[in-house]
């Protein structure tokens, strides 16, 4: 972790001047995606190119259209992609899982099954000013089982906005709008995984050194399947405070708000490298996506080092809920 942290900065020698005099967020397009930087520090990367897979892993597990890395203010990497237990996990992302299209069951999440996938399609817009930097991208949800060949089943316009750092925390908005170009509706079937915003955490976190807490006062043992306005995920890190984490906020306008959650139990993955959470609006009730209509889900991430209290989380949610 300490070795990797040095490379969160574009120039190690510029860390002190950047941190002291500028926290403006800039946006840089690279050969693999878009880098958001606060001063000279990398906050996150949205990847537009296909991520290569390890030797011996099916090429179907390659993917674009996800956030990784996401770093804390002290440059701790908090996300992970392609863990050996779930090669289809990609940092921060949100594909739908059990989906019915024209009578067929299509899965956009489990890439290895070859039924569906979600990838970066195109850049719609980008902007950077004194208050924030943002991109809006089109992500294509492809139905690979259509009789006439792969077809576009859902169009997703994803807005990622990183706000200028005015406190010790990073604020990141993640707004997704979905629609279908098909003449028939798409049913996002009720299931424990799908949509919203998902997070696969750094491999160093497990139940022994990380915690999960929700707005309803639940911890990791009780959060799965519950409803929440917000959830804090935090654990050990190489930050000076010894801990880092993310507060995920669900907007009151979201479907099924307070939103249902998927939280991996403590014994999942043999109790190792097993921190995964997701806001899952179809956890308990299916959602029909009608032709000609658009549906939006709004989330905010508060990325921090140290500890974030429940009172702070509630205040962040109240502020976000007014927007």
pLDDT at residue number 20: 42
Decide if pLDDT at 287 tops 90. Answer: yes
**Residues above pLDDT 90, as percent of the chain:** 92
pLDDT at residue number 152: 98
Backbone angles phi, psi at 116, to 5 degrees: -165, 170
pLDDT at residue number 10: 53
pLDDT at residue number 23: 82
Decide if pLDDT at 16 tops 60. Answer: no
pLDDT tier at 323 (50, 70, 90 boundaries)? confident
Q: What would the pLDDT profile of 33-69 be if each residue is shown by its tens digit?
A: 999 999 999 999 999 999 999 999 999 999 999 999 9
Give the range among 22-36, 96-110, 203-217 with minimum mean pLDDT.
22-36
- Burial of 109-119, coded b for 16+ CB within 10 Å and e otherwise, reads bbbeeebbbbb
Q: What would the pLDDT profile of 247-264 be if each residue is shown by its tens digit?
A: 999 999 999 999 999 999
- Burial of 254-280, coded b for 16+ CB within 10 Å and e otherwise, reads bbbbbbbbbbbebebbeeebbbbbbbb
pLDDT at residue number 13: 38
Residue 181 token pair: 């170009």
| Whole-Å CA distances, 175 to 53, 127, 157, 269, 290 | 28, 15, 8, 30, 19
pLDDT at residue number 7: 54
Domain segments of the chain: what residues? 2-321
Mean model confidence pLDDT for the chain: 94
CATH topology of domain 2-321: Beta-galactosidase; Chain A, domain 5 (2.70.98)
Decide if pLDDT at 3 tops 80. Answer: no
Q: What would the pLDDT profile of 151-193 be if each residue is shown by its tens digit?
A: 999 999 999 999 999 999 999 999 999 999 999 999 999 999 9
Residue given tokens 């859902």 in the structure block: 154
| Whole-Å CA distances, 236 to 133, 240, 243 | 29, 11, 4
Q: What would the pLDDT profile of 83-95 be if each residue is shown by its tens digit?
A: 999 999 999 999 9
pLDDT at residue number 9: 64
């Amino acid at each position: 972790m300490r070795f990797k942290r040095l490379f969160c900065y574009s120039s190690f020698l510029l860390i002190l001047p950047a941190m002291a005099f500028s926290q403006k967020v800039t946006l840089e397009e690279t050969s693999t995606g878009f880098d958001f930087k606060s001063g000279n520090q990398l906050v996150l990367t949205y990847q537009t190119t296909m991520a290569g897979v390890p030797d011996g892993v099916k090429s179907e597990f390659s993917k674009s259209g996800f956030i990784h890395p996401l770093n804390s203010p002290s440059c701790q990497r908090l996300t992970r992609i392609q863990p050996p237990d779930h090669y289809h996990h990609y940092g921060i992302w949100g594909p739908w899982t059990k989906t019915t299209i024209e009578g067929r069951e299509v899965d956009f999440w489990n890439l290895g099954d070859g039924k569906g996938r979600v990838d970066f399609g195109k850049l719609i817009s980008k902007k950077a000013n004194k208050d924030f930097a943002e991109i809006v991208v089109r992500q294509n949800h492809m139905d690979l089982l259509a009789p006439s060949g792969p077809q576009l089943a859902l169009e997703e316009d994803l807005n990622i906005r990183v706000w200028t750092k005015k406190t010790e925390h990073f604020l990141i908005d993640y707004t997704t709008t979905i629609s279908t170009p098909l003449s028939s509706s798409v049913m996002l079937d009720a299931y424990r995984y799908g949509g919203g915003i998902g997070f696969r955490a750094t491999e160093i976190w497990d139940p022994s050194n990380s915690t999960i807490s929700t707005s309803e006062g639940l911890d990791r043992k009780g959060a799965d399947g519950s409803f929440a306005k917000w959830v804090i995920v935090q654990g050990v890190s190489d930050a000076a405070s010894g801990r880092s984490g993310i507060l995920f906020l669900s907007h009151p306008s979201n479907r099924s708000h307070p939103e249902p959650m998927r939280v991996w139990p403590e014994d999942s993955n043999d109790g190792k490298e097993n921190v995964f959470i997701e806001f899952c609006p179809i956890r308990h009730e299916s959602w029909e996506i009608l032709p000609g209509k658009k549906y939006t889900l709004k989330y905010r991430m508060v990325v921090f080092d140290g500890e974030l209290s429940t009172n702070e989380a509630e205040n962040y949610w109240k502020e976000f809920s007014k927007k």
